[in-house]
Each structure stands twice: as structure tokens, then as C-alpha cells.
Amino acid sequence: MKLEGQVALITGAGRAGKGIGRAIALRLAGEGAKIVIVDYVAEAAEAVAKEVEQMGGEALALQANVADASDVERMVQAAVDRFSKIDILINNAGITRDNLLVRMSEAEWDAVLDTNLKGVFNCTKAVAKLMMRQRTGKIVNMSSVMGIVGNVGQANYSASKGGVIAFTKSVAKELGSRGINVNAVAPGFIQTAMTEEMPEDARKGIEDRIPLRRLGTPEDVAEVVLFLCSDASSYITGQVIAVDGGLAM
């Protein structure tokens, strides 16, 4: 298996149903990785950990707020206490607080930037210290096509995801000499619990804008993440791969 013996820490991986984090956790576990599942809600992380264990994998569920640096340090230490190392970091935790700019509150702006961008900073900084000592590691940051093209009502979300892209490129340059690959994945419209709640006409309108004429699946994203975590991507760093059916080209 591609990731046999490796330890992967995935934030925001406790999403119920068809969440991207959950799909990544199950896919990496299927390739032999030991999985640390982190979520803001403890029960959500534990549920996915049980799924990993039911498929024969090994998992640790942790509750943490990625926007809190001290909480992240505690989370990383708990993962190391259990598995002794971290080989892979997937910065997947993210939230939305959509609103038009002139109606957006400071609280809505701060909440999204704190989780989506500061959270990536906190987790990467904490895990990078370990990876630098190991002189190896894979970091995958979840951005969004909205961080590339923007979106009405998502100035906060788009800014956070655009920041993740710039952060990825900078950190890739800093850590490359230590054998650490840092890349970003930018999903488009993906079939999740949120998109399933959309009205049929709105969903059809989105599909008509996508060259492949369908929404993506969490598994579509997970396959790309697996590639970036495996030895097959050993000479790829600082890149942004859009998984969007051609929406942003």
C-alpha cells in the first residue's frame, strides 16, 4: 500500500455524510496510513475514527479549534504521543459565513479568516517543526477555486482561500530544502451536505457552468490528495491543483 506505516493528521475530518475531510481520511487509511482525525466537534471526529477502524485501519480522534494556537500544540502533541511522528498534514478545516460585502459583519470576516487561514498557519507551523527534524513530510492545504476566481457573497471565504494559496507557495519555498512537499488543492463545487440542500434549479445552473457538466464528489478530491501524499508526487511542490471539472480555467 502506498502509505503503509505513515501517519496522517487531517483537520476538519469529522464532517458527517459526504464531507471532503472524511473522504480523505478513509482514502488514506485504505492505503495503509494511520489517521489522526481532528474536528471542532469531538463526536464528529470519533464517528469517522470508528469508520477507519471498521475498515481495518488505526485512527485517533481529537477535538481541537485550529484557530487557537495552544489548542493546536496540544493536538499535535497528542498525535505524537500516540504515533511518535506525523508524516502527512492535511489542512482541511474550514467554515463559511456568506454575506454581501456591505452587509458582512466584522465577526463574519474574522471567523472565516481565523479558521480558514490562521488555522492553516497554526497547524503548519506546529507540524513543520516535526517534519524539519524528520527531513521529510507532505503538507496539503485545502484551498478553493473561489480563492482563484472569487465569488459574490464570499469575500471573506475567497480571501481566506486565496491566502491559503499564497501561504502554500511561500512555505513550499521555505521547507523544500528539508525534503518537505507543500501543495494546495482547490476544489470547485463538490457534492456535500451543503450542496445537496440547494434548490434543484440552482444546482442545475451550477452544473451548466462546469465543462464536465457535473458536481465533483469528495472522492474526486481525495484521489488528488492521495497523489500529493504519495511518492508519486515527490518532485511536485508549491502547486495548486484545481479539482473543479474545468470551472476555473
Q: Is 125 exposed, middle or buried (0-12, 13-18, 19+ CB in 10 A)?
A: middle
Q: 181 - beta bridge partners?
A: 138
Average pLDDT over the chain, rounded to an integer: 95
Q: What is the pLDDT of residue 195?
A: 73
E runs forming strands in the chain: 7-11, 34-39, 59-63, 88-91, 137-142, 180-187, 240-243
Q: Work out the pLDDT band at 80, boundaries 50, 70, 90.
A: very high
pLDDT at 16 over 70: no
Q: What is the pLDDT of residues 108-150, one digit of tens each?
A: 999 999 999 999 999 999 999 999 999 999 999 999 999 999 9
Q: Work out the pLDDT band at 17, boundaries 50, 70, 90.
A: low
Q: Work out the pLDDT band at 18, boundaries 50, 70, 90.
A: low
Closest by CA position to 11, among listed 54, 40, 32 = 40
Give me the percent of the chain exceeding a pLDDT of 90.
Answer: 91
Q: What average pLDDT score do residues 55-76 get?
A: 98
Q: What is the pLDDT of residue 63?
A: 97
pLDDT at 75 over 90: yes
State the greatest distance between any 2 C-alpha atoms of the chain, in Å, as a whole number.
Answer: 52
pLDDT at 206 over 60: yes
Residues belonging to the active site:
157
> Percentage helix, strand, coil, to 5, in the chain?
50, 15, 30
pTM: 0.96
